Every structure is written in structure tokens, then in C-alpha cells.
Amino acid sequence: MGDDLTTDEFDALRQIAELGRQQSRPSACVARNVKRLTGLKYASYAKNGNLGLTDKGKQTLFIQGCIDSLRAIADNPQAMLKPDVATFLDKKGHIVALEPSGFEITQKGKECLADIDTRAK
């Protein structure tokens, strides 16, 4: 990810993703951050003038969702995950499914979180 997006910019990315489905007016959060997000190629304007996420923006949101999900499972094994995130984390060996429900973070997942937290400082 490397561009060090702020929490406000991540919120704007999430809202832009929702704009594509709703076709409504952008919020103040999106308006504040759209210039930087388009400059960094996370979002772009279509020919019809609608704002949407680029592949880079979609990937960034997915990665952030994976990190947030790992943290959620570390705190609560019964945390609900999006199906695509759960599948990805399971295939990569970061989590394992528990019977009858829930997930457990693996050693690889714990190491990944520790590495992310170390780099964030």
C-alpha cells in the first residue's frame, strides 16, 4: 500500500465504493479527499462523470479489510467476516475455521499482524 492513507482517506475510499452502487452525491469526506485519491490513482472519474474506484483502490480496500478481519478474529473468534475475505485468509493460511462456527488465527496470521504493527510504528 505504501502511500500511507489516513483514516479519513480510507473512509472516503469506502464511500466511493458505495457511490458506484447508489449513484448519489459524494459526501463531504469524499469531496475533501478526492483530489489526493485520484492523484494517487485510487479513484478516477468515468467518461460520464461518475467517481469510482480503480483496481488499485479496490485492492487497497480488500487488503485493509483483511487486516481489520485478522484483528477482529484475534480479539473475538466469533467475529463475522465477509466471505471473500474469509476465503482469502483461509487459503493463505492466516486463519482456520472452528467447529461449529468462528475462526482461529494461526501462527502465520499472528506473525503477519505483528509485522504490520511493527511497520506502522
Q: Tell me: the pLDDT tens digits for 74-107? A: 999 999 999 999 999 999 999 999 888 889 999 9
Question: In this structure, what C-alpha cell is assigned to residue 16?
Answer: 466511493
* Cα distance between residue 98 and residue 41, in whole Å: 39
Cβ 33 vs Cβ 14: under 8 Å? no
**Nearest CA among 110, 93, 120 for reference residue 5:** 120
Name the average pLDDT for the chain: 90
Question: In this structure, what C-alpha cell is assigned to residue 47?
Answer: 467518461
Which domains, and CATH codes, for the chain? 7-53 (no CATH), 62-120 (1.10.10)
Which residue, chain included where needed, has cell 469524499? 30
What is the pTM (predicted TM-score) of this model? Answer: 0.86
